[in-house]
Chains A and B, each alone.
Chain A
Amino acid sequence: GAGVSQSPSNKVTEKGKDVELRCDPISGHTALYWYRQRLGQGLEFLIYFQGNSAPDKSGLPSDRFSAERTGESVSTLTIQRTQQEDSAVYLCASSLGPGQLGDGYTFGSGTRLTVV
């Protein structure tokens, strides 16, 4: 597609339930990033995928968080046993490849997750 697509755009879930967030990157973009923004905070790096290389998971806040990406296509971010502190806007971005930092990123519109 023309841009990075994320779904759902909004998600309200009960504490303790699992949620799955989806990101469709721009076709041909080998790099994919997940960030989140909690209220009043900056964008926080979660995970980075580059082609078929092992992902950089250094930003995942706990083992309740995991993400997958098949090749250079769709990625899913899964949060298990959600907590209220997980409430945030989850943003996905893609880029042409390594070294395409910053100006090479295209962000999706995000998924607003609310845990009640």
Chain B
Amino acid sequence: DQQVKQNSPSLSVQEGRISILNCDYTNSMFDYFLWYKKYPAEGPTFLISISSIKDKNEDGRFTVFLNKSAKHLSLHIVPSQPGDSAVYFCAASGTGANNLFFGTGTRLTVIP
């Protein structure tokens, strides 16, 4: 049972435009959400996170939005750069949990 879902396996965006990656979750006990970025042949690296007490967190070109009522979060990258091309994983966890639940990933391609 996939508790964290990324329904778009791939996304292509022109350099300089906004990239929007979406993620949905089903477990209402999740209270911490993260985005990871993964390049080929490397492990995932942490990008940005958000706690359920917030609805937005920004770090440079990256902003994560959380809509708890819809159980939906999104990652906005603006402006997109070719170096942003990677697979992006959404992840979630609940208080006291030992592990993260990951989505299946979205492959972002930023076209120069």
Residues of A whose CB lies within 8 Å of any CB of B are: 4, 33, 35, 40-45, 48, 50, 56, 59, 91, 93, 98, 101-103, 105-110
Contact, CB under 8 Å: A59 / B99: yes
Residues of B whose CB lies within 8 Å of any CB of A are: 2, 4, 6, 32, 34, 41-46, 49, 89, 91, 93, 97-105
Contact, CB under 8 Å: A42 / B2: yes
**CB within 8 A of B93: which of A56, A98, A101?**
A101
**CB within 8 A of A42: which of B45, B93, B103?**
B103
8 A-B pairs, CB-CB below 8 angstroms? A35-B102, A43-B102, A45-B99, A45-B101, A48-B98, A50-B98, A101-B97, A109-B43
Q: Please, which residues of chain B bring their CB within 8 A of the CB of A44?
A: 102
